[in-house]
A = this chain, B = another copy of it.
Amino acid sequence: MTSLQQSFNVPFTYTVSFTNSLFSVTNPVFRTFLNQQVMGKLVRKVLVVIDEGVAQHHPSLANDVRTYLAQSANVILAAEPLVVPGGEAAKNDPKLVDLLVDAVNEYGIDRHSYVIGIGGGAVLDLVGYAAAIAHRGVRHIRIPTTVLSQNDSGVGVKNGVNYRGKKNFVGTFAPPVAVFNDARFLTTLDDRDWRAGIAEAVKVALIKDLSFFEWLETNTDALARRDADAMNYLIYRCADLHMQHISGGDPFEMGSARPLDFGHWAAHKLEYLTNFSVRHGEAVAIGIALDVVYSQLAGRIQEADTERIMHVLQGVGFELFHPALAENNSEHLVRGLAEFQEHLGGELTITLLDALGKGVEVHEMDIALIRQAVAKLEINSLSKAY
């Protein structure tokens, strides 16, 4: 028997730019990017897909994009911007994937053209997936419009849609060619969406960076009253930690570990149990609370640590319990743990806390301790103990 060994590295690079009013004609950021990307006389096509909710809150956006691109020498708008439903609906309808792949076909978007998604995390996941499979991948630019997408999913490398009711069951790892975080979009978020993204910042601070957690403690009130500067710093710092994690580890998740999924195993199940009436960030806040109390019950952190964390989460306005957690004596949660393992594959790997700013991977969880943690959250929510 003979054999041939194949081995290569595929390099990926992209810039996440932080700006305000990206498509204001006086803002040079996007035009500078295009000038760097497109050399010579070539003209690239651009297909723009906008989240319906964003289009409603920013009625001039499509026109702003049109005007801005008309003044950029080396690109042309391939078609009128497409508008797609926002939120989980974007990922639940397979016809939307076809709609976008058809648009790539119809408007002649090639592997050197751009598909730009403007919207929340769900729309970016949909647009990123369609862009990743059409022509085996056309160039994809993300313009996230929520706190959650600007500090977490939008700056990462994953996309996906739901399939037969399973969240993110189909998707790929496909880094964008650029991300633009425009602070202007944050001003029109409702309070729930403003708050929801903060959960991912608490998460990444807790597992990776004590000083960022201390900053969150200091700025809890400012974040709660929607201070723009505080939020801009939070997004920058969280995106930075998230991106460092990706580049420093296993970008396409070929192993079993997923430390950035701290608090997420219960969150995924809770979203599903509540038919997504609890938003992702809200579910993550509860998932964090659960794994923090579990970490304390398991003797890994002190009660004082738990209280500091709960103070931040409640201080920015999160509920820390949902009745669905306790349904059927937490049987659902136990099943959620198994589903989490199946989605990741391989050995069960859950991140807990060993200290503030220090995550630790474990490979089993004690069901009795999970139930105790749920009970503690329920009691505390009734007594407002934290």
Which residues does chain B contribute within 8 Å of A110, judged by CB atoms?
Answer: 341-346
A264 vs chain B, min Cβ distance (A): 15
Asked whether, in the complex, the Cβ of B15 is within 8 Å of the Cβ of A163, the reply is no
Q: Within 8 Å of chain B (Cβ to Cβ): is A18?
A: yes
Which residues does chain B contribute within 8 Å of A174, judged by CB atoms?
Answer: 172
Asked whether, in the complex, the Cβ of B169 is within 8 Å of the Cβ of A135, the reply is yes
**Hey, what's the 0/1 contact readout for A154-165 against B, CB within 8 Å counting as 1?**
010010100110
Asked whether, in the complex, the Cβ of B6 is within 8 Å of the Cβ of A111, the reply is no
Which residues does chain B contribute within 8 Å of A253, judged by CB atoms?
Answer: 111, 136
Q: Which of A71-123 contact B (CB under 8 A)?
A: 101-102, 105, 108, 110-113
CA distance A171 to B135 in the complex (A): 7
Which one, A243-251, A352-360, A368-376, is touching chain B? Answer: A243-251
Asked whether, in the complex, the Cβ of B251 is within 8 Å of the Cβ of A10, the reply is yes
Asked whether, in the complex, the Cβ of A105 is within 8 Å of the Cβ of B164, the reply is yes
Q: Within 8 Å of chain B (Cβ to Cβ): is A290?
A: no
| A: contact size bracket | 35 or more
Asked whether, in the complex, the Cβ of B345 is within 8 Å of the Cβ of A135, the reply is yes
Asked whether, in the complex, the Cβ of A137 is within 8 Å of the Cβ of B10, the reply is no
Asked whether, in the complex, the Cβ of A18 is within 8 Å of the Cβ of B2, the reply is yes
Which residues does chain B contribute within 8 Å of A158, judged by CB atoms?
Answer: 136
**Hey, what's the 0/1 contact readout for A332-350 against B, CB within 8 Å counting as 1?**
0000000001111111000
Which residues does chain B contribute within 8 Å of A127, judged by CB atoms?
Answer: none
Nearest B-chain residue to A256, judged by Cβ: B112
Which residues does chain B contribute within 8 Å of A135, judged by CB atoms?
Answer: 169, 343, 345
Q: Which chain A residues have a beta carbon within 8 Å of chain B's beta carbons?
A: 1-19, 29, 42, 101-102, 105, 108, 110-113, 132-138, 155, 158, 160, 163-164, 166, 168-175, 236, 239-240, 243, 246-247, 251-254, 256, 341-347
Task: Offer 5 A-B interface pairs, CB within 8 angstroms, sorted by A.
Answer: A4-B15, A6-B14, A7-B247, A9-B11, A111-B344
